[in-house]
């Protein structure tokens, strides 16, 4: 049986692996600053885009260093 289990999906951090993988996949497309930039710069652009989106939509998020 396959079903949603928030304890193992969210609380144990599996969703962080999924989100990271999705961001890496999106970097292979021309979404964040173009393919001519290096990966670090495109990640910064992606993060800035996320911060702008969160601010516009009043979404609170936790940033971990």
Find the helix packing angle between 39-56 and 14-27, rounded to 10°. 120
pLDDT of residue 30: 87
pLDDT of residue 8: 67
pTM over 0.75: no
Q: What is the per-residue pLDDT across 26-55, written as a single tens digit (0 to 9) for each?
A: 888 888 888 899 999 999 999 899 889 989
Listed residue (24, 25, 4) closest to 14, CA to CA: 4
Contacts of 50 (CB under 8 A, 6+ apart): 61
pLDDT of residue 48: 92
Between residues 6 and 58, the one the model is more confident about: 58
Q: What is the mean pLDDT of residues 6-31?
A: 79
């Amino acid at each position: 049986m396959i079903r949603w289990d928030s304890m193992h999906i969210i609380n144990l951090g599996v969703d962080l692996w999924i989100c990271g993988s999705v961001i890496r996949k999106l970097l292979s497309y021309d979404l964040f600053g173009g393919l001519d930039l290096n990966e670090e710069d495109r990640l910064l652009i992606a993060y800035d885009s996320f911060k702008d989106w969160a601010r516009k939509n009043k979404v609170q998020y936790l940033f971990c260093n």
